[in-house]
Amino acid sequence: MATPELPDIASLRPDFIWGVSTSSFQIEGATQEGGRGPSVWDVYGHTDELKNRDSGDVACDHYHRYPEDVALMKALGVQAYRFSVAWPRVLPQGRGSANEAGLAFYDRLLDELLAAGIEPWLCLYHWDLPQALEDSGGWLNRESVAWFTDYTTLVAGRYGDRVKRFATFNEPSIFSLFSRSLGQKGRSAEDDLHRMIHHVNLAHGAAVDVLRDKVRNVSIGCIHNYQPCRPSSDRAADAVAAAHLSTYWNNAFPDPQCLGEYPAAMRSAVAPHVEADDLARICRPLDWFGLNHYSPVYVAAKPGALLGYDFGNKPSGCALTPIGWPIEPAAFADTLRIVHARYALPVYVMENGYGDAMQPDETGAVIDSGRMAFLRAYIEAMNAAAADGVDIRGYFIWSLLDNFEWDSGYSKRFGLTYIDYASQRRIPKASFDWYARLIRAARQP
């Protein structure tokens, strides 16, 4: 397959921001260095539930190799880099004494980024909850709102001089829906889910207030995984299950955060956890909507399961990435139109990308034509949505580096850069050069 042409981006704004995204636990490694405490992923990551028994212990060793990774970003030409702070690195017990060595790591990273002319976009929470807080009930404990407020105060105070773009959470619906703490010790998983959703929403609102107060000229959003939930057959039960899942997957967080109310379909279930004034505390003014989008989700009814659903068959003949995710750029354009119409905020695409398992060829190169074709089609879909008037201001690829892909360990690769985990050698893939060319072309006056 020949290298795909660059996409048509004529409808994107002249000040459009091109970036890449990563997250702390997926790349940093050094989980036991510099005074870091354990996160829930350190504990879960040492169970045999993970693919190949992979763990995040070393990951991309970014903790030590960040100068090389910033140099890669500079070569790529990105204007912005979205990363997350590991809560247990800066507060090993989740609360209480801060860890100066951990705080200093992000100082070094930020200084390196700013020296390279790359704007840091800091996400406060990308799933690595300190284990000590999980042991105290985690997000099921309403105290978590205070823990997150204090953590945000620390991060805002330390980095707010250099960071102006903050995201409160990455994909709150995903880490809630798939949380392993739901329904433990005989509790109802469904009730736990509602409790968790509400506490995370409250923590979001509290963090927005802290950031506004502490950081001059701050620009704040929350990053949502928003995917059309489609029935996997024409059975009525599957359509009901898909609509129900969509309420939770897509709307349970942005609706109260941006519109001030829970979706009608879940209002009575969440009500027992909602206290007076809570909705006003959640719905704080935001500057942008962060969208992560990969593909639609196909849903089948499964009575008795949490929210009564399971993942169902994808339509026969639908194009798939090598890891089995549907390739449907039109669904991306639709999603952009939907979130912009519903939430009336400028949209930044904070994740979009393509997973495979591709290894270097005999010459040592990684010619990832599938990824380039995917990115081209998705960027053109975004351009089409912009042409329709959707206010899209930036696009960040997941991810700069192949990394620890959660339950899949290192078996899935989303990077523009290949990581040889044995040597930690970084090999920019063909898509890296292609994206660099696109950014150069886009930024030409």
Residues forming the site for ligand BG6 (CB under 6 A): 23, 26, 170-171, 174, 225, 292, 351, 355, 398, 405-406, 408, 412, 414
- Residue closer to ligand BG6 by CB (options 414, 418) is 414
Report in angstroms how near the CB of residue 377 gets to ligand BG6 at its nearest: 18
Report in angstroms how near the CB of residue 128 gets to ligand BG6 at its nearest: 11
Report in angstroms how near the CB of residue 102 gets to ligand BG6 at its nearest: 21
The residues, ordered by sequence, that sit 6+ positions from 137 with a Cβ below 8 Å of its Cβ are 143, 144
Residue of 28, 112, 134, 171 marked active site: 171
- Residue closer to ligand BG6 by CB (options 159, 406) is 406
Report in angstroms how near the CB of residue 248 gets to ligand BG6 at its nearest: 15
d(CA 24, CA 127): 9
- Residue closer to ligand BG6 by CB (options 26, 176) is 26
Parallel/antiparallel/unpaired status of strands 417-420 and 425-428 = antiparallel
Q: Are 35 and 92 in contact (CB under 8 A)?
A: yes
- Residue closer to ligand BG6 by CB (options 21, 99) is 21
- Residue nearest ligand BG6, CB atom distance: 405
Report in angstroms how near the CB of residue 315 gets to ligand BG6 at its nearest: 21
Active site residue 171: yes
Report in angstroms how near the CB of residue 379 gets to ligand BG6 at its nearest: 18
- Residue closer to ligand BG6 by CB (options 11, 408) is 408
- Residue closer to ligand BG6 by CB (options 170, 179) is 170
- Residue closer to ligand BG6 by CB (options 151, 169) is 169
Active site residue 119: no
Q: What is the SS3 string spanning the chain?
A: CCCCCCCCCCCCCCCCEEEEECCHHHHCCCCCCCCCCCEHHHHHCCCCCCHHHCCCCCCCCHHHHHHHHHHHHHHHCCCEEEEECCHHHHCCCCCCCCCHHHHHHHHHHHHHHHHCCCEEEEEEECCCCEHHHHHCCHHHCCCHHHHHHHHHHHHHHHHCCCCCEEEEEECHHHHHHCCCCCCHHHCCHHHHHHHHHHHHHHHHHHHHHHHHHHCCCCEEEEEEECCCEEECCCCHHHHHHHHHHHHHHHHCCHHHHHHCCCCHHHHHHHHHHCCCCHHHHHCCCCCEEEEECCCCEEEEECCCCHHHEEECCCCCCCCECCCCCECCHHHHHHHHHHHHHHHCCCEEEEECCCCECCCCCCCCCCCCHHHHHHHHHHHHHHHHHHHCCCCEEEEEEECCECCCCHHHCCCCECCCEEEECCCCEEEECHHHHHHHHHHHHHHCC
Residue of 112, 328, 351, 405 marked active site: 351
Report in angstroms how near the CB of residue 186 gets to ligand BG6 at its nearest: 29
**Which residues does the annotation mark as catalytic?**
171, 351
